[in-house]
Chains A and B, each alone.
Chain A
Amino acid sequence: MTNAGDGSAPFSCIISNTMDFTPHTEAERKEMLADIGVSSFKELVKNLPIMEEDLKIPSGLSEGEMVRLGHELGSKNQAAPRLSSYLGAGAYEHFSPAAVSALMSRGEFLTSYTPYQPEVSQGTLQTLYEFQSMICDLTAMDVTNTGMYEGASALAEAVLLALRETGRKKVLIPRSLHPDYKTVLSTYTSESGTQLIEIPFKDGQLDLGFVAKNLTSEVAAVVIQNPNFFGIVEPAEAIAPLAQAASALYIASVNPISLGLLTPPGEYGADIAVGEGQSLGIAPGFGGPYLGLFACKTKWLRKMPGRLVGQTVDVDGRRAFVLTLQAREQHIRREKATSNVCTTTALIAAGSTFYMSLLGKQGLRDLAYQNLAKARYAFDQLTQIPGVRAAFKAPIFNEFVLQTTTPVETLQQRLLECGVVAGLPIKKWYPELENASLWCVTETKTKADIDFLVKTLRGVL
């Protein structure tokens, strides 16, 4: 809205037909770039994989020629499900019913924006409220927000909360925590003098003796990942009393599918449950967009980041939904806000809500069971092959680590030629584990698929 500006009557505002933007001047751009310490915008974004000029496409192609070129290039990609993939490590292949993507592609969900105006956003708000309710149910926690960007930053936010609230500097994290989560955590805490202390693993599980010894009153939080990066189920119940004794927060990073069978974090005394919601019906899609889960006890309600949808009544007493407790957020509290997160993957949260409603409680239980049973079958069959052994004996969910006499890179190549994508080599992060690879088996594999893998692996060793 612009006003008349000529000093005429106060209410003679003119609503202009076009919104006048005030773009940066070239001089302002130069000043900002100089302040950041780069010479050009291109240099600023040089870490992004592709810029327009790098696409080697001849100019002047017709649409038909372009489509044909696209097909040719695309056919060079091989993707699951054409290949039988046994990759996991934080991005999982699960079957998602067609209804999920059909609903997600509806305009009302696909292009709706942040529901700051509840009068026109009841659909979005109700969906997110249902999402929150389901995640609370799944994790046995009191409150959930509408999601963080993904699992790693959700964990980082939980750790920041613990650091803020306790004023302490140390955090215990498992060595068996997902390497990318460790990197993100390290980035988030890099400037604040925080000390991240690694808990070693024994037979793939948390070394409880180490935890007991090092969980002192200097520790803000102890973090576990359950199942951990190796696919192993942790003795999660043993941590709570140790955390309580030190008045440290207990943060659990969980796999939501596993909660169909495993004890939820709220029941083993965790303060905050975080995790990656991608496996709830969202395609692996090159690594994103994903869905950070963040749930906690009521105690931390006013300290938690992210958006919260609440249920209330309108002036006529009808049920309505709104964003609530917004005073925690940065658009109100600025530098005192609980976080600087400024958006959310609401569409992904909606998708996961559709998925969870289609599965239902029993469906999720059955799904978790299938994952567990099939992974166990694969594990048992594969470890019987000469030249293949289990890295750990501890109980697993749907992933496990194998060590082979043949170098993993050789195995990868040979298996790929047979249409199988082998488990992820993990030497880069765990040099102490020789020729180790991480394998994932979800409900998408049939017994025949697994038998084919076993037969093929035997053949290429």
Chain B
Amino acid sequence: MSTSRRYAKSHEWIRVEGTLGTVGISDHAQKEVTDVVYVEVAKTGKVVKAGDEATTLESVKAAFSIYAPVSGTITKSNLALDGDPGLINKSPYDEGWIFALEISDPAELDKLMSEEQYQKFLTSGEAAAHH
């Protein structure tokens, strides 16, 4: 797998290196969510299936669930978000990463969307249904 991102319909992205996946939310999502004020630390060791809630994020507007794009075991959380949750808005694909997990079934990555597919997905009517 290359270092390019793949996307879930719920607007999380995942970047894979070997069996480790780093997860965050897309630029589109951070705009929708508006100013992030708090991110709950995802529990290390928590086993998640694709689509399970991994952690939650709070903005000035509301609270949002962050879902695991693929199945695995959570290995770490981005602790920098504790002091600066706004990193998610400022740098959603880089410094604003949320958690990392050990991927249990790499085949699941094929079910996610590529960058191109995700951009197309955003302009279609379907994107509004997923949050």
On A, residues with C-beta under 8 Å from B are: 302, 327-328, 332-333, 336
Contacts and interface: CB of A to CB of B under 8 A. Distances in A.
B27 interface: no
A21 B62 CA distance: 28
Contacts of B65: 336
A332 to B, nearest CB: 5
B52 to A, nearest CB: 14
Nearest to B65: A336
A411 B60 CA distance: 61
A360 to B, nearest CB: 36
A302 B38 contact: yes
A333 B63 contact: yes
User: When A and B form their complex, which 6 residue pairs have the shortest distance between CB atoms, in order from nearest?
Assistant: A327-B58, A327-B63, A333-B63, A332-B62, A332-B63, A327-B62
Interface residues of B, number: 9
16 contacts: A302-B38, A302-B40, A327-B37, A327-B38, A327-B58, A327-B59, A327-B62, A327-B63, A328-B63, A332-B62, A332-B63, A333-B62, A333-B63, A336-B56, A336-B63, A336-B65
Interface in B62-78: 62-63, 65
B58 to A, nearest CB: 4
A327 B63 CA distance: 6
Contacts of A302: 38, 40
A316 to B, nearest CB: 20
Nearest to B64: A327
A326 to B, nearest CB: 9
A152 B54 CA distance: 34
Contacts of A333: 62-63
Contacts of A332: 62-63
A333 B65 CA distance: 10
A332 B38 CA distance: 15
B86 to A, nearest CB: 16
Nearest to A329: B63
A6 B37 CA distance: 42
A333 B37 CA distance: 15
A333 B61 CA distance: 11
A328 B37 CA distance: 12
A336 B57 CA distance: 12
A302 B65 CA distance: 15
A328 B56 CA distance: 11
A98 B38 CA distance: 44
Nearest to B56: A336
A332 B57 CA distance: 13
Contacts of B62: 327, 332-333
B83 to A, nearest CB: 15
A327 B37 CA distance: 10
A308 to B, nearest CB: 13
Contacts of A336: 56, 63, 65
Contacts of B58: 327
A195 B62 CA distance: 34
Interface string B100-119: 00000000000000000000
A67 to B, nearest CB: 53
Given A327-B38, A327-B62, A333-B63, 10 more contacts: A302-B38, A327-B37, A327-B58, A327-B63, A332-B62, A332-B63, A333-B62, A336-B56, A336-B63, A336-B65
A333 to B, nearest CB: 5
A299 to B, nearest CB: 13
B67 to A, nearest CB: 13
Contacts of B63: 327-328, 332-333, 336
B90 to A, nearest CB: 20
A18 to B, nearest CB: 32
A333 B59 CA distance: 12
A328 B38 CA distance: 11
B95 to A, nearest CB: 23
Interface in B25-65: 37-38, 40, 56, 58-59, 62-63, 65
A305 to B, nearest CB: 14
A239 B87 CA distance: 41
Of A302, A327, A328, A336, chain B has the most CB atoms within 10 Å of the CB of A327
A302 B58 CA distance: 10
A336 B56 CA distance: 10
Nearest to B40: A302
A118 to B, nearest CB: 14
Contacts of B40: 302
A332 B56 CA distance: 13
Nearest to A328: B63
